Amino acid sequence: MKQNFEEKENSYIDQVEGRNAVIELLESGKDINKIFISNGEKHGSINKIIAMAKEKKVIINEVDKNKIRQMSQTDNNQGVIAIVPPFDYCEIDDIIEYAKTKNEKPFVVILDGIEDPHNLGSIIRTAETAGVHGVIIPKRRAAGVNSTVTKVSAGATQYMKIARVNNINEAIKELKENDVWICGTDMDTKKYHYEQDLKGGIGIVIGSEGYGMSRLVKENCDFLVKIPMNGKITSLNASVSAGIVIYEVVKQRQK
């Protein structure tokens, strides 16, 4: 009965898996309920995790490998799982204020229906390394931040401001009210991403893996750009497309 209760309780919280992701979590200072470590895993970076957890007074539970395997939501837990409170999503205002504290024009990534948690994790990782102030995702028909996203992001979810909104078009409207220009990515437009001025306050919209941007979101963009395609394959993975356009913003802002 106790085990069933624990499983039910854990279903309402999130977990972070893998050694590097857990180390990033510990370094971030975010709340951690407890850390599960597989019996016998007392070498390499596991020792660092144990030491950091003890220093921060985080409970460590040693369990057998089967228990870790049953708990795991990814294919590569590396013998360590951290149980954390549900991801703390922010508001759009928080993203705008964060940009102001850095004395920078807002730089936002808007994801219109990214469903693959691996793509979401990759985009968040790229966004964090590029200095993006925040990522906006929809609540419905899209991936949210979970253990897979956190692991793929290499811990970047611990540092990135992520807003989860009811309506992407309303989010775009709010960004525009804060002097943010909205740039959509679409293969049917004529202008290439490097031909567009992206130096001001900017929101980059990345559409879903299968269908791209929805019609209303596309109509609400201030302008559209495309990425050159010179091969026989005429589409890119969503996270790759995001990375190319995100770093074009970085390039232009450094000039």
Give SS3 for 88: coil
The answer on 53 and 167 residing in a single domain is no
Count of other CB atoms within 10 angstroms of residue 207: 22
d(CA 123, CA 152): 9
Pairing relationship of beta strands 181-185 and 223-225 according to DSSP bridges: parallel
Same domain, 35 and 68: yes
Asked if residue 224 and residue 129 are part of one domain, the reply reads yes
CATH of the domain at 29: 3.30.1330.30
Domain limit, last residue, from 43, 60, 84: 84
Distance between CA atoms of residues 61 and 41, nearest Å: 12
- A 10 A CB-CB count for 243 gives 20
- Which pLDDT score, from 0 to 100, does residue 41 have? 63
Looking at 65, 84, 103, the residue that finishes a domain is 84
- Per-residue pLDDT tens digits of the chain, which is 255 residues long: 333 323 333 333 588 888 988 998 899 888 899 999 998 767 788 999 999 999 999 999 999 988 998 888 877 888 999 998 888 899 999 999 999 999 999 999 999 999 999 999 999 999 999 999 999 999 988 999 988 898 899 889 989 999 999 999 999 999 999 999 999 999 889 999 999 999 999 999 999 888 889 999 999 999 999 999 888 877 788 999 999 999 999 999 997
N-term to C-term CA, the chain: 63
In the chain, the number of structural domains is 2
Specify whether the CB–CB gap between 107 and 249 falls below 8 A: yes
Cβ(112)–Cβ(136) under 8 Å?
no
- Model pTM? 0.77
